[in-house]
Amino acid sequence: MSRTVILVIDGFGIGAMPDAGRLRPGDARADTLGRLLDHHRARTGRALPLPGLAALGIGAVHPHPDLPRTPSLPVTAGRAGLGYPGADTYAGHQTMMGADFSHVTVARLAEHAGEVAAALRAAGRRVERWEGRPLLVVDGHTLVHDNLEADPGINWNASGRLEETTFEQVLAIASTVREVAPVARVIAVAGHSAQPLPCHVREGDGGTLGLDTPASGFYRNGGLEVRHLGAPLDHTRQLPDLAARAGAAVTLVGKAADLLACAAAVRRPAVATAEVLAHTAEAVQATGDRPALVVANVQETDLAGHQQDADRYVEVLRRVDAGLEHLAGLLTSPGDRLIVTGDHGNDPLIGHGYHTREFVPVLVSHPGRAAAGAPVPDAASLADVGATAAVGLGLDPAALGNGRPLPLGPLSGASSRR
């Protein structure tokens, strides 16, 4: 077994998938990384420096004049389709860890509002429809509504303003909704807003109705608290649980600490990119020679995409890039792996604040192996990322619920750590 780090850059797409324009035709031109590179050059007259990603082969899978085509580290570079409908962080991470999420249930709250309201009332809650429409106001302070940041019908939210309630109350309401919700994820969200939340309710795509969370100020006012309540899955067939049962130390960092199930894992929740990177590096250093799996999520790139703030996205991406250089310097033993990928796109210059359905990079640094001469064929699913990590950890990828490992090539004279 070796040490393996999977770093997920949330919302880091590298070009639209063939079906990206099915819901929103304009998304057929989505390209999160390409647009950021062009934006930076247009503003500064210079290429955006991303030496960490360049060393890992990003230019080999995203040809762009501002990116070198050849990696400087021993890597295998490729890209992956998402392997699940839409473009969603929860579904992306569950798929990546080995779940078959190709058939998530898609439903608007309007189709189940009566059932949800009845469950909340049975739990002792006061429930009203907002202006008679399919958006529920619970106990006068928490909104239960369609999530407007993912594709319509994939997620529902329970949102509360911290000036009026506590996150614990919002989470309790979300937990009741989760018991009857048919969708992939119910998200409890609480933050600070200068105005009552109904001021920021709007209609979304596909007949949805919900809180415009970026407009509410939750993402920029500090104090944001989030909990993702996912649909039931067989977590014993996902990578963290499989690795822990085999004796690896498992650490979940950032949003991954909230999204992924593993009773044996050490959890390091964080939103700030500097904290996510620091926790990830500390987890690697703490393992020494012991086998380990670290799964980390950098969330601030995704938040910048939702805010349609390309400058902020660039700033966060440069911080991530510096962190990648540091992590690559820690993972130098034969058998160690640093896997850099995304969970979907979030093009901040596409003209809306939704996720975009894009391919994501799969950059695998593996000391002791020869670098691939050309990018590997596209992976059909993010599940192939988890399967690739399983092989590096000495695990049987067939024990996962889904996924096929990428071909990494033979060792170059050094044996993998056992």
Tell me how far apart the alpha carbons of residues 409 and 387 are, in angstroms, rounded to a whole number.
Answer: 15
pLDDT attached to residue 415: 31
pLDDT attached to residue 37: 98
Mean pLDDT in order along the chain per 10 residues (418 residues): 92 97 91 98 98 96 95 93 89 94 83 97 98 97 94 92 98 97 93 97 94 95 91 90 97 96 96 97 92 97 96 98 96 92 98 93 86 80 97 95 84 33
pLDDT attached to residue 22: 85
Tell me how far apart the alpha carbons of residues 131 and 406 are, in angstroms, rounded to a whole number.
Answer: 52
pLDDT attached to residue 409: 59
Tell me how far apart the alpha carbons of residues 362 and 393 are, in angstroms, rounded to a whole number.
Answer: 17
Q: Which residue has the tokens 């999420």?
A: 101
Tell me how far apart the alpha carbons of residues 219 and 203 are, in angstroms, rounded to a whole number.
Answer: 20
Using one digit for the tens of pLDDT, what is the confidence trace for 299-314?
999 999 999 999 999 9
Burial of residue 288 (CB within 10 Å: 0-12, 13-18, 19+) is exposed
Tell me how far apart the alpha carbons of residues 385 and 9 are, in angstroms, rounded to a whole number.
Answer: 14
- Sorted by where each begins, the domain ranges of the chain are 3-104+232-399, 109-230
Using one digit for the tens of pLDDT, what is the confidence trace for 231-275?
878 899 999 999 999 999 999 999 999 999 999 999 999 999 999
Token output for 202:
């709007």
What is the chain's percent helix, strand, coil content, to nearest 5? Answer: 35, 20, 45
Identify the three-state secondary structure at position 376: coil
Nearest alpha carbon to residue 103 among 404, 406, 405, 401? 401
Tell me how far apart the alpha carbons of residues 296 and 259 are, in angstroms, rounded to a whole number.
Answer: 11
Given this structure, which CATH class describes domain 3-104+232-399?
alpha beta
Tell me how far apart the alpha carbons of residues 86 and 154 are, in angstroms, rounded to a whole number.
Answer: 8
CA distances from 141 to 130, 138, 268 (A): 12, 6, 30
Measured CA angle at 394 (ends 389, 399), to 5 deg: 75
pLDDT attached to residue 104: 72
pLDDT attached to residue 353: 86
Token output for 399:
């024990």
Q: Judge contact between 188 and 158, C-beta under 8 A.
A: yes
Tell me how far apart the alpha carbons of residues 359 and 81 are, in angstroms, rounded to a whole number.
Answer: 5
Token output for 385:
């990322």
